Amino acid sequence: MFDGRFRRGIDATTAPVGRWLVRAGFSADALTASGLVFACVTGWAIAEGYHHAAILLLTATGFHDMLDGAVAKASHRASQRGSFFDSVIDRVSDAVLLGGVAYYLTAHHRGQLVLLPFAILTTTFMISYQRSKAESLGLAAKGGLMERAERMILLGVGLLATQIFIPVLWIMLVLTAMTALGRFWRVWQVAARPEPVRTHAYRPRAHAGRRRGLTRTTRHP
């Protein structure tokens, strides 16, 4: 939702910050890499139960993720390599954060509750895969209730208190699964439509003599 409906407003807000960071000497790849470092520290804080500190670290991780694109645009160095690097790091960050959640649940709760973050991570990767596969086929696959920005915000809400942490995780799983199913259905519907018939551009008819095979090759001295 934030990545689609509100993207223009976010870009307009972050563009001046991106220009300032470029003047300060920061690069988009450096922000992406440092965002992964913050994600790792956040995962550790979640695993150890320092949830209030994890909220601050998660906010810093989100700012890195939000500003690396603005820096790339401001520096006029947006590239396929940078986009690929950012996408891969986002997936690693998701795994690290939910890995911290799994460790915390293992240490403080009994039973199979550790499978909850595993299920969230699986549906999260399915959302990302559907988008990348659809775009490789020339189809749009953005939007949904629970994209990456919404997942980070909801995780931060769950970290506010231990009493709501697990219920928020269940809500995240349900909304993430709904997003994955909704994205699959939209792409499925679009892909079922017949491809438009390509019309060839008009070409003037060849000379009558050429059509009849009567043309001759003339050599000039």
Question: Is the Cβ–Cβ distance between 66 and 100 less than 8 Å?
Answer: no
CA distance 190 to 141: 10
Identify the three-state secondary structure at position 72.
helix
Name the token pair of 88.
Answer: 């891969």
Q: Which of 65, 68, 90, 94 is catalytic?
A: 90
Name the token pair of 26.
Answer: 């920061």
DSSP 124: H
Reply yes or no on whether 90 is catalytic.
yes
DSSP 216: -
- Say if residue 199 is exposed, middle or buried (CB neighbours under 10 Å; 0-12, 13-18, 19+): exposed
CA distance 213 to 3: 60
Supply the residues annotated as catalytic. 90
